[in-house]
Structure 1
Amino acid sequence: MQNVKTPKKLIEVALPLDDINAASAREKSIRHGHPSTLHLWWARRPLAAARAVIFAQMVNDPGGDRGYAPGMTKAQAQLERERLFGIMRRLVTWENTNDGTVLAEARAEIIKSWVEICEQNKSHPQARELFAPARLPAFHDPFAGGGALPLEAQRLGLESFASDLNPVPVLINKAMIEIPPIFAGRRPVGDPLPSDQQMDLSENWAGTAGFAADVRRYGEWVRSQALECIGHLYPSIDLPSELGRGKATVIAWIWARTVRSPNPAFGHAEVPLASTFILASKPGKEAYVEPVVDGDSYRFEIRSGKPPASAKSGTKVPGKGSGFVCILSNTSIDGKYIKEEAQAGRMGVKLLAIVAEGQRGRIYLPPSEEHEKTALQAKPEWVPTQELVGKARDQMPLYGMNTFGDLFTSRQAATLSTFSDLIHKSRQKIAVDAAAAGMDDDPTPLRDGGRGAVAYAEAISVYLAFIVEKMAETHSSLCTWSNAPKNELVVSTFRRQAIAMTWDFAESNPFARSSGSVEKITEAICRVLPTSIPASASGSSSQANAQAQSITAGKVVSTDPPYYDNICYADLSDFFYVWLRRTLRPVFPDLFATLSVPKLEELVASPYREDLKGQAEEYFLSGMTSGMRQLAKQAHPAFPTTIYYAFKQSDTTDLGTGNTGWETFLEAVLQAGFAITGTWPIRTERDARSIGIGANALASSIVLVCRQREANAPSISRREFLRELKEQLAEAIEVMIGGSEGVSPVAPVDLAQAVIGPGMGIFSKYAAVLEADGTEMTVHTALTLINRMLVEGEDDFDSDTQFCMSWFDEQGWAAGDFGKADVLARAKGTSVERVRQAGVALASSGKVKLLKPLEYPSDWLPEKDNNTPVWEALHQLIRALRAHGEAAAGSLLARMPQRAEPIRNLAYRLYTLCERKGWAEDARAYNELITSWASIDAASHEKGHIGSQADLDI
C-alpha cells in the first residue's frame, strides 16, 4: 500500500530463538490445563511459539533508521533489543501463560510500537481506518486449525478472528476465543457438587471460573443420568477369594478380534487374532494371558510372573504383517484369509481379559461369560452411517469397516448416543436454571449473538459435546491397552495421524475413575478454561474458505496452513464431526448442515481426490496461491505476515533442505505477491540434540516472515542474483553462526532452514530472476543455490583443511586411493605428506584415510604444534568434549583462542555436509560442539589464554 511507513519489526531482525525453542519443546510434555486437552487436533503449534511470534511481529525493532528510536547507537539498540528479549523470555514460560503482570508488560510494548506507527502514518489517506492510536488492529488466522495462534493473539490483547473451512476447528476456536469472553465473570448457575470447594459468598468468579464450574456441574448431571440409563452395560466384577472377594469396578475389557479357523477340522471355531498376551510388564508385577486349549475349544486364564517369550506376540507371527496362527490347530492364518472373512462379515470378537481397580493398582482377571454377553447384547439407538473416505479409509474397509459406526462396538455406540441425547436434554435444564438464577431470559440463540439464559445453555453444551468427542476418541474398537510399566491404561484411537486397524483392543468403562472415564474427561476440559483461556479481548470464529474470505482486511495475520500432503484433516476429522453434528446441530445448524466435513475445497495435495499426483500438486499450488493472495492483498500494511511450515528432518537431502511440498508452498507464497523478509526455525517437537537424522516426525516449523512485494519490483539476471547472494548471504550466515549479545547462535540442526530466509529474501524481492535463456528461475533452483552457500566458501580455511573437507565429502572416514588424494591435495595447494605430518590423516599401502576424533592423541598441545590445520583443532576439541566434557574442551580452546571462530565455522559446515549425507553420528558430534560452544568459550576465558600441562586435564 502506497505511502505506508513500516518500521522493521523485531521478528525481521532478531529473536531469542533458544528460549522460544526450549519453551516450545517443554510445552509438548504439558497436558493438565493445556488447550490441546480440550479437543484433539493434529499438528498444533506450541502456545509459546505462537505468543512469541505474534509479539515479535507487532513490536518495532529498536535498531536502524527504520526503528522507533531514530539516532540510537548500535550499542543502545542492542541493549533495548535485549530488554525486549527479556520480556519474550518471560512471555514464553508456561507458568506465565495467564500471568497478568507479564501479559500487561507485553501488551504495553505492542501498544507503544503501534502508537509510533500511527504517528508516522497520521497523514496517510486511510489514517482513520488503519492507523487509529486508540484501537489496536485486530488479528486473523484464515487456517485456524487447533487455534493456538488466535488464542495467543487474544491473550496479547488483540481482538481475534479465526476461520477455517472445516467445521471441527471452527467449533474448537469458538470454544477458545469466542464463547469464553461472552460469559466471563459470571457466577455458576448449576447446583453445587459435593466435590466443589466451599465458596465465599463474596467470591469473585473472574474469567472463566464460574463458566468452568457449570461445565463440571452439568457434566456430572449428564453422567448421573447416563448411569441410570446404561449403567447396567458396565457391571462390576466379582473378585476371587485370593483377592479378598467382594466387587471391584472394571477399568477396561480387553478384546481380541476373531475369525473362523482356516483348518476344516476346526472351521466351526472362532479363533483369536491377538497381537500380544502381555497385560502388564512392570518388573515384579507382570501379568499375561495364557490360552488353555481343550480339544476343539479354548479359554483364557490370567497368570502372574515373568511371561514366556511366546506371550509377547500373542497368536501373531512375529514380523509377518497380518499373519497369525490358529490357537487350536497351529494352522497359519494369512492376511488374505483374514480380509476375506472380515469383508464377508465373519470377523467377531472374544473377551481376553478384564482389568479392574484394586487397592494397590490394576487387577487382571480372566474373561467372564456374563460380562461378554452383556457387552455384545447392547443395542444402540443410533449409529453413525457416514462412510469412511480418503485417509480415514486406509486399511479399514479391508477388514469390513466401511462406516464410522463400524469403528465402535455396540456398547460403545450405545454409550456415545446416550450421552449425546442427554446433552440435548441438559440444554433445557441449564436454560431454566440460568433464568432462575437471575440471568436474562432472552430467547436469542448463541449463534445470533445471544447473551441470555438460552445462549448460556447452548454455550455450556458445546463443552459437554467435547466430552462426547473425547469419549469417542477413547471409546472405539481401535483403542489399545498399554502394558508399559508406568502406563497400564487405554491408549486412544489416534496414536498417529491416521485411523489404524487394531487386532486386540481395550474398551474403557466411562463410569470408572480411570483414563477414558467421563469424570476424568470432564475434569480435563474444565481445567483448561481458567488455566489457559484468556477470555479477555473479544473473539470470533467462523467457517470460511481461505481462498475467498475477506475477514483478513486490515488485520494482523499469523497462520499455520496445511502442509501439502502431510495430514488429510477433513478425512480424519469426520471421526469427530459425526458425533458433533448429532449433538450440536440445533445450536449451530449452518455449521453442521452437511453430512460430513467439506473435502473438495480442502487445501491438501491428495492424489485420491485427483487422477494423478501431478494434478494434486497443481491443485495445491493453485489453491494455496489464491489463499496467500488474499492475505497479501488484505493484511494490515504496517505489519509483516507470519506463516508456519512444518518440516520433517528427512526433508534434508544432499541438495539441501527441501521437498516437493515445501517448494510448492514457497512458490504459492511468492506467486501471491509476498516477499520473504525472514525465516525462523522454531523447534516444536523435541530438543535438537535428541533428533536423529532421518527421523520422520515433524521436527521444526519454519516461520516465514512476509511483506507484500513492491508493485514495481524489477527483474534481475541469474548472474546478478548470484553476486548479491554471495555478498549478503555470507554475512547473514556469519551472524547466525556467531549470534549476538544476549542471543545464542542458530543451532547447526536449524541452520539450513534459517538460511532460507535471507536467501529467499533476495530472491523474492524481485519480480523475477531470469536465467540465461530468458526463463524465470524456479524456486527449486533458488533453494539449491541458497543451500549450496552453506558448504561452499572453503577458501576461508587453510589449504590442509580445504583438502580434508573435500576428502571427507568424498570418502567420509573410509580409506581412498592415494592417487585421487594426491591430485586433490595438489589442487588445494598442499600434499598428502603434509596432511599426514599434520596428524589428521594416515597414508599407507596406497590408501589415504582421515583420522576420527577419538583417534587423535590426548597429549596434544596446540602451542607446540607448528602445523595445526583448523581441521585438526576442531577434531581435537570434539575429542576433548566427548572424553572429558566442556571444561576440558574450554581448557584446550584457551591455548588457541585465535582459532575459535574458524573452528566454529568449520563445525557448522561439516554438520551441514553430514546431515545431507545422512551421517547421523558424525553430524551429532558437530552439533554437540556448537550447542556447547557458549559453555566451552566461557571455560576458556576462565582458564585464561595460556595454560600449563598440569592444569590441562584433557
Structure 2
Amino acid sequence: MTVAISTTSFIETQFPVSKLSKESYKERKAGSGQTLTGLGKWWGRKPLILVRAAILGLLLPASDEPQKDREIFLKLLTMDDEGLRRRKSKAIPLKDIHARLRPEERELWFEPDSNPAKLKYKKGLPWYEKANLQRRIFNQLSYDEKLIYCDRPEQIDGPSEAAWDDINAHLGTDAQTLPELVQQLGERQFGHVPRVGDAFCGGGSVPFEAARLGCEAYGSDLNPVAALLTWAALNIVGGGPEVAVQVRRAQQEVYAAVDKQVTDWGIEHNEQGWRADAYLYCNEVICPECGWRVPLAPSWVIGEKTRCIAELHPDAANQRFDIRIASGVSSKAMASAKSAATVKRSALVCPHCDQSTPMAMLRGDRRVDGNTAYGLRLWENDDLVPRPDDVFQERLYCIRWVETVERADGSVATQRHYCTPDADDLRREEEVLELLRERFHSWQEQGYLPSRHIESGDETTRLIRERGWMHWHHLFHPRQLLVQGLLAKELSVQEDTVSAVACLLGLGKCLDRGSKLCVWDSSIYEKVANTFLNQALNTLANNGVRTFLSHNTTWCLDIMPYAVGYYSLSRSEDSRYFKEQNDIWITDPPYADAVNYHELSEFFLAWYEKPLQTLFPKWYADSKRALAITGSDEGFRKSMVDCYRNLATHMPDNGFQIVMFTHQDASVWADLALILWASGLQVAAAWTIATETDSALKSGNYVQGTVLLVLRKQTSDDTAFLDEIHPEVEQEVKHQLDAMLELEDREDPNFSDTDYQLAAYAAALRVLTQYKQIEDIDITYELSKPRHRGEKSPIEQIIADAVKVACDHLVPLGFDQHVWKSLTPDERFYLKGLDLERHGEYRAGAYQELARGFGVKDYKPLLAGSKANQTRLKTASEFAKKVLPDEGFGASLVRHALFAVRETTRTSETLDGKTWLRTEGSAYWQQRKNLITILRYLAAMGLMMPHWQTDAKSAALLAGALENDNA
C-alpha cells in the first residue's frame, strides 16, 4: 500500500495565469469546435484547459525551485516553447514570413520578381529548408501570435519524450503519459488514483477532463439536463472511436426514417420538386387606432447577401397588408426595408396610420389593486395555433426553397429561392396541422411531445405574460412539433443506452434550433438562429422555422472521441445529501448567478421527461426548482454552507477544493469566504483566468475572468481576535506580492495589476480562515442577517484593508519607492491608473477597484471617458482647467506636474512649464527631484499609448529642463 504524503501543491504557490488565459480564450473561440459543445446546450461551460491545469496544479508538489516548478508545469501542458512547436499545425503565410525577414534575407528565400500578393519560394528549395524557416519565424512570434498556428493542448498526445525525461527527473516519477503521471502523483499524495468530483457539474467539463487525465471522476448536478450532458461527455465523447461509430450509425438510421416519413407526407416539397429549408413567420395584430391588421417585424430585410426583402402592400378592401418577397433589390430598397419596421421599442408602429401603440396596451395589461394583471387569453393544452380572436396571430410570410439542379457534366448543384407563400403552401400548412392533431394526444401520452405546464419564474413568466403560453409545447410551431415528435418516437425504440442518449441529445439540439423563439438572422449568414442566443427565453415578433432538411447537421452529434479508461460516474443528485468520497472537489457554484438554470433547462426537460425515466430509472426528470440554490440572500447562503460542509465532510484532511466564481467586488468575496469558512474550509490561494470571449451580446463592463479559489480542509482549533488579524494580514499580503514579483518575467509578464489585487484578497482570507474562530465575528449571525446597501461586514473590511496594503506596496515599474510613499492617495491612484492603462486595462471595474484600494472616493474628474471597456484617465492636456483648486488632487504635486506638461505642449516651450512649477507650485526646490521622477514616469507613457505621445514628449523635455535648472 502506498503511504499518502501531504505537501504544498504548485497551485498554492503560483499559477501561469497569463498563458492559461490565452489558452482558455483560444478554446472558447473554437465555438462549436470545442470538445463538449457538440453534445448540446449548457450555459457557462468552463474551458477544459483550465480544468486540466487546475488538477495538475493540485497534484504537482511545490519544490524549493519555483522557476523549475513553473518550467515543468508548462511542459506538462505543452505551453512551453517545445510544446508550442509540437502543437503547431498551420503554416505561417508567406507574406508574414517575408515581412519578418531582412531585405538581404528575402533574396535568399524568395524569387526576386515575386508578386507581393503571390509570393513564391525560390525554385528547388528543399522541403526541410522551408520547414526550418517556418520554425525560425515561429520562434520569433509572441505567445498570442504562436497560438494562431497551434492546436489546443488536448488535440495532441502530450509532452515529447525529451520533455518527459525532464518532468520525471524533477518529480521523481516514471511516466510517459499524463494518466500515468496522475496515477503516480495521486498514489504519492492520497495513496491511490486521485478521485475528482464536481457537485455542480453543468456541462461536464470537470468530470470529463478529470477522467481523461486518468482520475476517477464523479459528476452530479441537481439538474438532470446537466447530469445527462455529463453522462454523455464521459460515455459518448469519452467512449472512444467504437462508441462514436455506433452513435453515428444510430443517429443516421433515425434521421433516414424520419426523413422518409416527412418526404412521404410531402409537407416540405412543392409542385416543382423543390424542398423548403426555412419558413419565416411573423405575429400579426390589429392596430387599435385604425383597425388594420398589421404584420410585426423589427426589420423587413430577409437577407443581406441575397439583398432579399419583404414588402408590405396595403389591401384596403380587407384592411390588411399583402407581403411580397423580392430578391436582388437596390440599396435604396434595402434601406427602406430596414426602416419600415412595424415593431420599435416594444411598441406597434402602424404603417397605415403611423400611430404607435405599446405592446402592453395591445395585450390588455392593466393595474388591479396595485398589481399588474395580464390581458392575454391563456392558451389551453389543445391549442396548437392561435384562436381567431387572439391578440397575436401567426402568419407565414416567406419560404426559402432549395432547388436541385443537374449540370451538363452530371454533377449536382443547389439553388435557393425566397418566395411568397402561395395557395398550395397554405394548404400544406393546414395538412401539417391536421397530421399533428391526429397524433397529438397519443404522442403526449407516450412522451413524444411535452405535456408539462410552464411554471411562473423570472424567465418563464415572460412567456405567459407576452404570449399567453401555458404549456411548453406552445413554444413550438406545428411543423416543429410534428417533426421533433417523430424524432422522439424513433429514439424511443433504441435498444442500447448510449445510442438512445445520443439521440435524445440530438433532439435537444434540434429543439434549441427549432422553436418559436428562434430569430431569423438576416445578416450574410441568412439562417435560423438558436433559441438560446443569450441566457433568456425571449418572445419574438417574427421568427424562423427550420425544416427537417435543415436539421441534417444539427441532429447528429459532432464529437471528437477520446477513450476514457478509468471509473467515472454521473448522476442527478442534490449536493447537500450525497455521500461520494473524493480527494479533490472542483466546483462552479451558482453564486450570485444571473442565469436561471432551473427555468431554462425546463425547455429541454419538458421533452426529456419520459425518455429520461426510461433510460435512468433512478433519476428524476424535473428541475427541482424548490431545491435549486439561487440568489444571494441569507437562505441562499445557508444552502451553500450545507452543500460545501457536505463536500468538506466527504474529502480527506489532505484533500483540496477549488471553487470557481466570477470576481465582482469585496462584498461578493466576503460572503463567499464566510460560506466556505463556515463549511470548514480554509483558503490557500486564488488566481483569476480570463475565460470569456468577445460578443455583440456582451458589449459592456462585463466580468472577464473566472477566479479559482484554492481551499484546504480547516483542521485548526486556533482562535484569534480581530485586532490580532490586521497586522497578520498586512504581513501576509506583502509576503504574497513579493513572492509573485520575484517570479515575474519582465519580458513575458504573467501577472496583471488585477492579479496582484486578487492576491491581496486571497492573502487576507488565508489568514482569516486559518483560525477555527474569530472572537469578534459570529459566523452564524453574519450568514443569517440580511444585507443592507452600503453596509460592510467585518470580513469585507479586512479584505478592503488588504487591498489598500497591496496598493501602497505595489510601486509602478520605473517609479522611485521613496517618492511613491510621499504621494497622496489621489496621486497614487492616478499614476497607478496610468500603469493599468498601459497594460491594456480599460474596464471601469478595474479603476473602481483601484480607487477602493487607495481610499479615493471621487475619481471621475480624473477620467477622460468611462464607457464600458473604454475607461481611461485624462492626459496632461486633457486637464484643461487653468485655475487649480487649493486642496485634493488639484493641489497635489502630480497635478502641478501635469499642468506644467500641458503648458509645455501648448506653447512648445519648456520654459512655460518650468515657470509654472517655479511660481505656482509650492516648495519647488525641495520637490524638484520628486517632480523629475513624476515627469520621467509620464514620459514613459508615450511608448505604449498613442494618445499620450505628444504630452509624453513634453514631459521628457520638461524633466530635462528641471534637471539642468539651478538657482
**TM-score where L is the length of structure 1:** 0.71
Corresponding residue of 1:9 = 9
Give, in whole Å, the separation in 2 of the partners of 1:577 and 1:217. Answer: 25
Give, in whole Å, the separation in 1 of the partners of 2:414 and 2:666. Answer: 52
Contact 1:621 1:668 in 2 (8 A): yes
Give, in whole Å, the separation in 2 of the partners of 1:698 and 1:807. Answer: 22
Which whole-Å deviations, capped at 9, do the CAs of 1:219-277 have from their partners, x for residues lacking one? 122122212333366645669xxxxxx543322111101123324654xxx42111211
Corresponding residue of 1:338 = 362
Secondary structure of the equivalent of 2:309? strand
Give, in whole Å, the separation in 1 of the partners of 2:936 and 2:420. Answer: 65
Corresponding residue of 2:613 = 585
Which whole-Å deviations, capped at 9, do the CAs of 1:109-157 have from their partners, x for residues lacking one? 434433443xxxxxxxxxxxxx43xx31221111111110011100110
Contact 1:17 1:743 in 2 (8 A): no
Contact 2:310 2:337 in 1 (8 A): yes
Contact 1:394 1:499 in 2 (8 A): no
Give, in whole Å, the separation in 1 of the partners of 2:913 and 2:540. Answer: 50
Give, in whole Å, the separation in 2 of the partners of 1:784 and 1:19. Answer: 28
Which whole-Å deviations, capped at 9, do the CAs of 1:367-399 have from their partners, x for residues lacking one? 334324423542432342322231331421112
Which whole-Å deviations, capped at 9, do the CAs of 1:259-304 have from their partners, x for residues lacking one? 23324654xxx4211121111223xx42211111131232212232
Corresponding residue of 2:393 = 348
Contact 2:513 2:531 in 1 (8 A): yes
In the TM superposition, residue 792 of structure 1 has moved relative to its aligned partner by 3.5
Which whole-Å deviations, capped at 9, do the CAs of 1:835-886 have from their partners, x for residues lacking one? 7567799999xxxx999xxxxxxxxxxxxx9765444333322223234999
Change in CA separation of 1:310 and 1:602 when aligned onto 2, cut-off 3 Å: same
Give, in whole Å, the separation in 2 of the partners of 1:136 and 1:635. Answer: 14
Give, in whole Å, the separation in 2 of the partners of 1:762 and 1:221. Answer: 61
**TM-score where L is the length of structure 2:** 0.70
Contact 1:233 1:375 in 2 (8 A): no
In the TM superposition, residue 337 of structure 1 has moved relative to its aligned partner by 3.5
Change in CA separation of 1:621 and 1:804 when aligned onto 2, cut-off 3 Å: closer
Give, in whole Å, the separation in 1 of the partners of 2:731 and 2:490. Answer: 68
Give, in whole Å, the separation in 2 of the partners of 1:840 and 1:710. Answer: 62
Corresponding residue of 2:936 = 873
In the TM superposition, residue 41 of structure 1 has moved relative to its aligned partner by 0.8
Corresponding residue of 1:56 = 57
Give, in whole Å, the separation in 2 of the partners of 1:104 and 1:346. Answer: 68
Change in CA separation of 1:373 and 1:758 when aligned onto 2, cut-off 3 Å: farther
Aligned pair 1:539/2:553, yes or no? no
Question: Which of these residues, 756, 759, 765, is aligned with residue 761 of structure 2?
Answer: 756
Change in CA separation of 1:581 and 1:836 when aligned onto 2, cut-off 3 Å: closer
Give, in whole Å, the separation in 2 of the partners of 1:772 and 1:373. Answer: 73
Aligned pair 1:641/2:709, yes or no? no
Corresponding residue of 1:922 = none
Corresponding residue of 2:307 = 286
Aligned pair 1:628/2:655, yes or no? no
Secondary structure of the equivalent of 1:475? coil
Question: Which of these residues, 732, 746, 754, is aligned with residue 728 of structure 1?
Answer: 732
Aligned pair 1:218/2:222, yes or no? no
Q: How does 1:790-801 map onto structure 2 within 5 Å?
A: 790-793=806-809, 796-798=818-820
Contact 1:564 1:665 in 2 (8 A): no
Secondary structure of the equivalent of 1:682? strand
Secondary structure of the equivalent of 2:43? coil
Structure 2: segments with no counterpart, 5+ residues: 88-150, 160-174, 365-374, 379-389, 404-412, 783-792, 812-816, 831-855, 863-873, 915-927, 960-967
Question: Which of these residues, 730, 737, 744, is aligned with residue 740 of structure 1?
Answer: 744
Change in CA separation of 1:51 and 1:841 when aligned onto 2, cut-off 3 Å: farther
Secondary structure of the equivalent of 2:534? coil
Secondary structure of the equivalent of 2:480? helix
Question: Which of these residues, 554, 559, 579, is aligned with residue 528 of structure 1?
Answer: 559
Corresponding residue of 1:684 = 691
Secondary structure of the equivalent of 1:782? helix
Contact 1:233 1:374 in 2 (8 A): no
Contact 2:211 2:234 in 1 (8 A): yes
Give, in whole Å, the separation in 2 of the partners of 1:778 and 1:771. Answer: 9
Change in CA separation of 1:521 and 1:820 when aligned onto 2, cut-off 3 Å: same
Give, in whole Å, the separation in 2 of the partners of 1:109 and 1:691. Answer: 42
Contact 1:236 1:247 in 2 (8 A): no
User: Which letter does structure 2 place at the counterpart of 1:370?
Assistant: D
In the TM superposition, residue 588 of structure 1 has moved relative to its aligned partner by 1.6
Change in CA separation of 1:522 and 1:62 when aligned onto 2, cut-off 3 Å: farther
Which whole-Å deviations, capped at 9, do the CAs of 1:633-653 have from their partners, x for residues lacking one? 221333321111124xxx3xx
Change in CA separation of 1:693 and 1:785 when aligned onto 2, cut-off 3 Å: farther
Give, in whole Å, the separation in 2 of the partners of 1:622 and 1:210. Answer: 46
Question: Which of these residues, 793, 805, 826, is aligned with residue 827 of structure 2?
Answer: 805
Contact 1:17 1:744 in 2 (8 A): no
Contact 1:673 1:709 in 2 (8 A): yes
Secondary structure of the equivalent of 2:337? helix
Secondary structure of the equivalent of 2:526? strand
Which whole-Å deviations, capped at 9, do the CAs of 1:709-760 have from their partners, x for residues lacking one? 2331221333x32222222213423444564359733123544334322221
Give % identity.
18
Aligned pair 1:386/2:452, yes or no? yes
Corresponding residue of 1:714 = 719
Change in CA separation of 1:229 and 1:850 when aligned onto 2, cut-off 3 Å: farther
Which whole-Å deviations, capped at 9, do the CAs of 1:663-706 have from their partners, x for residues lacking one? 4332211111111010010111138xx99999354421101000
Change in CA separation of 1:792 and 1:798 when aligned onto 2, cut-off 3 Å: closer
Aligned pair 1:703/2:727, yes or no? no
Secondary structure of the equivalent of 2:627? coil
Give, in whole Å, the separation in 2 of the partners of 1:231 and 1:238. Answer: 11
Aligned pair 1:256/2:328, yes or no? no
Structure 1: segments with no counterpart, 5+ residues: 64-73, 118-130, 185-207, 240-245, 428-456, 606-615, 652-656, 852-864, 897-954
Aligned pair 1:671/2:694, yes or no? no
Corresponding residue of 1:364 = 418
User: Which letter does structure 2 place at the counterpart of 1:756?
Assistant: Y
Change in CA separation of 1:180 and 1:317 when aligned onto 2, cut-off 3 Å: closer
Change in CA separation of 1:458 and 1:235 when aligned onto 2, cut-off 3 Å: same
Question: Which of these residues, 338, 342, 351, is aligned with residue 312 of structure 1?
Answer: 338
User: Which letter does structure 2 place at the counterpart of 1:393?
Assistant: T
Aligned pair 1:106/2:178, yes or no? yes
Corresponding residue of 1:858 = none
Give, in whole Å, the separation in 1 of the partners of 2:894 and 2:623. Answer: 67
Q: How does 1:129-144 map onto structure 2 within 5 Å?
A: 131-132=190-191, 135-144=192-201
The alignment yields a C-alpha RMSD, in angstroms, of 3.8
Question: Which of these residues, 175, 180, 187, is aligned with residue 232 of structure 2?
Answer: 175
Change in CA separation of 1:671 and 1:347 when aligned onto 2, cut-off 3 Å: same
Task: Compare 384-393 and 139-148 and name the one that shifted more.
Answer: 384-393
Secondary structure of the equivalent of 1:6? coil
In the TM superposition, residue 834 of structure 1 has moved relative to its aligned partner by 7.0
Corresponding residue of 1:375 = 429
Q: How does 1:531-610 map onto structure 2 within 5 Å?
A: 533-551=562-580, 553-592=581-620, 594=621, 596-605=622-631
Secondary structure of the equivalent of 1:787? helix
User: Which letter does structure 1 place at the counterpart of 2:709?
Assistant: L
Corresponding residue of 2:42 = 41
Give, in whole Å, the separation in 2 of the partners of 1:625 and 1:8. Answer: 26
Secondary structure of the equivalent of 1:464? helix
Give, in whole Å, the separation in 2 of the partners of 1:55 and 1:469. Answer: 34
In the TM superposition, residue 96 of structure 1 has moved relative to its aligned partner by 3.5
User: Which letter does structure 2 place at the counterpart of 1:388?
Assistant: I
Aligned pair 1:228/2:260, yes or no? yes
Contact 1:573 1:597 in 2 (8 A): yes
Question: Which of these residues, 773, 792, 799, is aligned with residue 783 of structure 1?
Answer: 799
